[in-house]
Structure 1
Amino acid sequence: MTYYAETPIYHEAYRVAHSVRGRTIPDYEALVYNGSMLLVNSQPLLGQSLTLPQNAKYVGGHHIEVPTKPLSKSLQQLLDRSKNGVIFFSLGSNIKSKDLPERMQRKLLDLFGQLEQTVIWKFEEALTGLPRNVHVLKWAPQTSILNHTNTVLLITHGGFMSYMEATYFGVPIIGIPLFGDQFLTMDLVVERGRGLRVDFAEDLPYRSNARQASSIFRHTLAPPAQELLHWIELVLHHGADHLRSPAVQLSVFQKLHLDIVLLFIMFLWFCSKVLKVIRVHWNTHDVEDDRKTQ
């Protein structure tokens, strides 16, 4: 089922890139079973705990620059003086805040205006009638803002990259999933108690859970970007046959567990024979008893 679901996505993502270079896109199933290394853009604490073979490595967070890029002078000053905290609102790059219905935009501004926190809203156009605590930026350095100590909340569309960045910097999340995997991502956030609602009381779990997840995310042998380069160089120089799972070499007979099925069938056949012998024995015993009574 996974094969049939993923194959169209694979062709859609890589067909154009291969055709531009005059290459034929490899068969997806052959690529999966012959791959030397699988680099997973995630971390165990972000998703479900999966048992992976040795040639699958987590490199989630490799895109996060540490230290983060410095903020502009004006933005740095804004965050520094926001002692009640900063809320960063961004719907990512695929969804535009300017495309939200105007009525919804005004309701959000009214809501943000009632908060004591500073709200930074990534918005692609100029907005009028902004509350004093709301600031609009056409482009915002998300990781640098999340890294600031005064940032207390990220309102996001629920993209996995935003979830990863917020977890790394220990910022709770309110998600507004709209399509695709965003719903699953926000389910994971809520399940782990790392976000759901706007509440900045220190005794509630969202802030502490986010900080704990951040500590786990950062506690690695090497930064994800360094680990990513390490595994790529390893494969290029030495290959990764020693890391590949022996399961890829199994025959179809073994993959489908036909040996176990055959053994189970033989066991059932043996049980049926035993039951047949027992039934014949009891029937014979009953006949002998009837003769004795006569």
Structure 2
Amino acid sequence: MTASVREREVQTVSQERKRRTRSRTISHLGPIVVSQLPAHEYDLDPACISLVCPSCRTWVPIRVADTERATAKLVPHHTEQAGTEDPVRCRLGSHRLVTIDVSVAKWSRRLEQGVAETNGRRADRVIRKPQPMPTPAVMQIVGGLVDDKTVRELDEAHVRGCSTCSIKDDKGTILRVADLTSRCTDGRRFAQLAAHTKRLGPARRKAQMDREDWNDRRAWGLRLLHEQQWQNVSEMVADTELRRVRDTLAALIQTLNPHKADAPQLTEGERAGLMNAITLLATQEEQLTR
């Protein structure tokens, strides 16, 4: 192979060129300041420097020239992912200037701090929404508030005052109660409620008696427990009370008859009051020593 052929083959191989801005078109929007963006919306890795386009919210590479006169800006891009048929070009974000005022080291520190804060958060507790309970029937609601006797009296009062629910003679005397199908709406409700409460009456009375019996036994148990606890400390309390009465009595007697000659003299009223207090304390001491 001759030297000219070898030189021609070498010249046909594409040479790596420096990256530079291919177009002088600039977006009419203001420049994007990297320091004003969240740390997770831009990547300053020299191998893939890029950011999230504010217009279409897609990751777009940043074209940075090596010369000082050229300015970094977003490359022309589409609003959809790569490989989408009939893509639409992002006209607002393409060729938009970018001001890179954050160093790679500072960007890395911001990412590390964000990851540390995220890992340190406690997971949100999932609060299950309670399932709604089925709505009870009207008879169940009213039946739990009144007893069978009250419902029967209400039903009888309704029958006496309702011309539809009762069959009367010419003089207005009630002969009998009308059939359930012939009664009015309120009459049928009262009749059904009376039957319902009459059916549940024995069980309700038994449950009430059981509750009253349990409350009586609980009260009796509490009284027995109180008596047992009092027996354990009654002697100690009695000794303490007797000692208090004796100390108070001795102090009053000493006040009534002081040992020092220069002690202040008591008036007749003060002496009478002390005598009454001494008599009362002497009575308490006698009762405690029995």
| TM-score normalized with structure 2 length | 0.20
Q: RCO greater where, 1 or 2, for CA within 8 Å and sep 6 or more?
A: 1
| TM-score normalized with structure 1 length | 0.20
Which of the two has higher C-alpha Rg? 2
